[in-house]
A and B are shown apart, each in its own frame.
Chain A
């Protein structure tokens, strides 16, 4: 499960309440913070936006959530009628023609798989089901099962033809799982709606694991995002101020299962076909939410050394903080991380 972030907007909310209490009418174009929440993609999306009146806020919110619902219908692997499910059902028997948006999604997925040498991979659908993460029913597959699953796992088994806009699988049984990138893709689409609506200050959070900070609250330089320390700590690991960029985080605190006293994380290492071990949490900042969402998986799966090399080579504009080890003995690795890190949690 992606790490829980805390967007601190209390100061702004306090300002709103104080304004409401004053006997004077607000200035004609005073901006008020409005918050709306919408369930989608198996989580809650929360939109904080500044608008001049509640109708503008409600209309923009409705458009944003309509867009997120549209992307969910495009990408859901829980809905048989989604475009992704149509591809899963047919791409092994013939090339499936799809629309440019879906092709762009698949090309982005392929890109992050290629640059990470398969650390990111959306062909883990069957693998996730085998480990019982599809509907939260954790189990440990046998070695024979895992061996068989190698035939239906691997990003190279998906062939994209941009000229004819088709996707095909090289083997039957492959199932795409958009879990490592879909929310970021939805956030990017939603931010385009906000920009088209001329919203200048908003924070959109996809279940707190991927968020985008558009502009900044009035009289602020950006949106304040708090990255908590590794559980069970309730202290802060680092605080960042974001403006016109996204942040994605990953950890295992909310989607996992424990068997025989061992905690199994839902983030798979496609190389080992097993849940990642030894990573506590990661956070990464990138202007694209699609990229930050995918990269949060990449740097969770890869070793810190591999991650830093990947980021240097393929995402040099990113900023990342990687926490490994155990809560008692955590180590941190940073890539262009510009905010202070609480050394009580880990040493850089």
Chain B
């Protein structure tokens, strides 16, 4: 079974555990969760996990004390807390851990949790640096840790169906993916005042500083890299990119806009753009094929077919007049109609449900912890996108084409 087949079978297994099937099962096995990193994303993960029968939140680890009360409110109870991840992973009252700390801490936290024998739901990106990604992959593999990466769009039913149709050839041969994650906001979080030395600024707004963040290319782009990997069935080979600060001259050291081209085999490409001062395009992922296009958003997916497949010859019908009998009518050849963007409706891709992708991902993880099926978005999936993000992190500053390493063989 190759990797794509495995992903498909895992996907089918995940889809097979439908509401109806679960309704017939007895009370689910309780799963006690802990979370390392209870910021905005960690809290959203917790909300989604608390919507799954049998799941409870039993411990949190965070070095920023205001998070404790925020989690207590979210969980509806007092949740034990610690600032030390080593104390956290030594607990004996948690069955699995969510790791949603800043990306620069992922390697330390994931490796510690893996060595403690805990199943892990790890937020993307898998790791921050190239070495981090290799080390996480090696540890998870060595320990045989149940690990799911937070690429939740792998669990969106409309994305799964869209990718299935792409792989089935509905848009011909996919050659390009264009991904946009455009926002209009400064991407900041409020920092308490006073803040001597800017310590809290760097703690809370870690996404804005190059030493702790891969910027937009990692925090947003890693989702799209993963989707392109899903489409093309491999990780990218190299990346060429650029970035700048065009609007928010507020001391940040990552770009407030990023553009990067990820190169895949056979000349296929992902073109990624993220800007933060115009949200016209929002978040959308396009796959362009020789016979059509697919648009995948955070809520739905559409397919658009090319008007003419000019490189597919059609045979004349028998017993009908052909161009030989009719002749060719001459006239002006200039026409711009074919160059205009298509603005009409597409075909909405029908999906079996509309579950929130993060909820679907959380539910699938808990089912995997209970032994119901294997993980779909596993550590290899996380590695393939994160390794590209890690390389792109520097490549958008060097603005040179940079190779992306493959997993190390042991």
- Which A residues lie at the B interface, using CB under 8 A? 55-56, 58-60, 62-63, 66, 70, 73, 79-83, 85-86, 90, 93-94, 97-104, 165, 196-198
Contacts and interface: CB of A to CB of B under 8 A. Distances in A.
B299 A81 contact: yes
Interface string B189-207: 1101100000000000000
Contact of B190 (A59, A86, A103): A59
Contacts of A197: 190
Nearest to A94: B23
B399 interface: no
B190 A99 contact: no
B188 A62 contact: yes
A83 B50 CA distance: 12
A331 B231 CA distance: 66
Nearest to A52: B193
Contact of A165 (B19, B50, B357): B50
A198 B357 CA distance: 33
Given A63-B189, A93-B19, 4 more contacts: A81-B299, A83-B51, A97-B52, A99-B51
Interface of B: 19, 23, 40, 44, 47-48, 50-53, 66, 74-76, 185-190, 192-193, 250, 299, 354-357, 359
A80 B193 CA distance: 41
Contacts of A198: 190, 192-193
Contacts, number: 71
21 contacts: A58-B188, A60-B190, A70-B44, A80-B354, A81-B299, A81-B357, A86-B356, A86-B359, A90-B19, A93-B19, A94-B19, A97-B52, A99-B50, A100-B76, A101-B47, A103-B76, A104-B76, A165-B76, A196-B66, A197-B190, A198-B192
A98 B23 contact: no
A58 B185 CA distance: 8
Contacts of A80: 354
B190 A56 contact: yes
A78 to B, nearest CB: 11
Which of A58, A85, A93, A99 is packed against the most chain B CB atoms within 10 Å?
A: A99
Contacts of B189: 59, 63
Contacts of B192: 198
Nearest to A80: B354
B98 to A, nearest CB: 14
Given A83-B356, A86-B359, A98-B51, A63 B190 contact: yes
Nearest to B50: A99
A4 B33 CA distance: 46
Contacts of B299: 79, 81
B356 A62 contact: no
**A-B CB proximity, top 6 nearest:** A80-B354, A100-B76, A99-B50, A197-B190, A59-B188, A97-B53
A63 B190 CA distance: 8
B190 A82 contact: no
Contacts of A103: 76
B157 to A, nearest CB: 10
A79 B297 CA distance: 14
A212 B53 CA distance: 36
Given A62-B185, A62-B188, A99 B47 contact: yes
Contacts of A62: 185-188
Contacts of A73: 356
Contacts of A104: 76
Given A90-B19, A99-B51, A81 B354 contact: yes
Contacts of A94: 19, 23
Contacts of A97: 50-53
Nearest to A58: B186
A83 B356 CA distance: 8
A60 B189 CA distance: 8
Nearest to A97: B53
A59 B186 contact: yes
Given A90-B19, A97-B51, A101-B74, A81 B188 contact: no
Nearest to B48: A99
A170 to B, nearest CB: 17
Contact of A55 (B66, B75, B186, B357): B186
A85 B75 contact: no
Nearest to A61: B185
A75 to B, nearest CB: 13
Which of A81, A90, A97 is packed against the most chain B CB atoms within 10 Å?
A: A81
B257 to A, nearest CB: 17
Contacts of B23: 93-94
A84 to B, nearest CB: 11
Which of B189, B190, B359 is packed against the most chain A CB atoms within 10 Å?
A: B190
Contacts of B354: 79-81, 85
A317 to B, nearest CB: 23
B250 A55 contact: yes
A100 B51 contact: no
A63 B186 CA distance: 10
A29 to B, nearest CB: 10
B293 to A, nearest CB: 23
Contacts of A79: 299, 354
A288 B241 CA distance: 49
A93 B19 CA distance: 10
A100 B50 contact: yes
Contact of A82 (B74, B185, B187, B356): B356
B19 to A, nearest CB: 6
A83 B299 CA distance: 14
